[in-house]
Amino acid sequence: MYLEKDFCVYHPDVEGRLTMPLLNEIAERKWYKRMGFNRLIVASFVGESVLVHQLLEEGMDPKAEDIYGRSAVWWSKRGWASDIVVSVFVSRLHAPLTCPPTANHVTQPR
């Protein structure tokens, strides 16, 4: 049995501002799952940069794609706040890489 909400497309005027609990519920709707829209894709399109940052910190893959091969970055460029969310992705790409020390890592004195 399908509920009407399973096919309901999110809009803040109807469901309020996107929060993590609401995002989790939206990502479980049948239509979103059928389209391959994960939480990162939805948050990217909606323009919730705080949620996008949080999901990236949790390890969500920004390269994960929907059924048409479009990533969260692609959706963020076409979303409701593209300039803000794209900047989150860009800042992640340009963040300095750090390697954790390992047992074989030895710092040489200068």
For the chain, the domains span 16-89
The answer to whether 79 and 46 are in contact (CB under 8 A) is yes
In sign, the C-alpha dihedral spanning 29, 33, 39, 42 is negative
Average pLDDT for consecutive 10-residue bins of the chain (110 residues)?
64 90 95 95 93 94 95 90 76 55 44
Instruction: Return the pLDDT at 25.
Output: 95
Domain formed by 16-89, architecture: Alpha Horseshoe (1.25)
**pTM of the prediction?**
0.74
